[in-house]
Amino acid sequence: MRALIQRVKKASVEIEEEIRAEINNGLLVFVGISKSDTHSDIEYVVDKVINLRVFPDNNGKFHFSLKDSKDELMVISQFTLYGDTRKGRRPSFSDSMEPVSAEKLFNEVVDMFKAHSGLEVKQGQFGSHMNVQLINDGPVTIWLDSEDRRLPRNTIS
């Protein structure tokens, strides 16, 4: 499972010219689900996201997590995070989970965020064409891949 985490001052998702969700000050998390993802990948990503210290203290040092700050959270499904561009000019999405199973796992991700963060979790609509607007705060953008937890620490660059 992959997550692209962006600390935002503001974010919104629009579907069919209607704003479906919006947040102020918090994290916008794009989630991609691979064919091999399981419940343990969900647990890993959710725990990392809500406990990742990316909010600054008074000295500007990353000291607080989303759980500490009680800021807002928006989660958007994005299968294109598994786009493979190594060959040719068109990305291959062969590592992405097929939509029916991916939607089930994505809903589990959202439910786990709700259960473990204590926050209202805003979200897009799985499988829809969405227009996402954001103001990145910092900018702070973090890449998270659940496969990384399986690698020895010194091999992650």
Q: Take residue 113 and report the two structure tokens written for it.
A: 């965020």
pTM: 0.93
Pairing of strands 2-15, 131-145: antiparallel
Phi, psi values for residue 44, rounded to 5° = -60, -50
Give me the active site residues, please: 80
pLDDT at 156: 56
Q: CATH number, domain at 26? A: 3.50.80.10
pLDDT confidence of residue 149: 87
Tens of pLDDT along the chain (157 residues)?
999 999 999 999 999 999 999 999 999 999 999 999 999 999 999 999 999 999 999 999 999 999 999 999 999 999 999 999 999 999 999 999 999 999 999 999 999 999 999 999 999 999 999 999 999 999 999 999 999 887 776 655 5
- Render the burial of 51-69: b for 16+ CB within 10 Å, e for the rest: ebebbbeeeeeeebbbbeb
How far is C-alpha 41 from the chain's CA centre? 13
Full domain range(s) for residue 107: 2-155
Number of domains in the chain: 1
Cα angle 57-120-133, degrees, rounded to a multiple of 5: 75
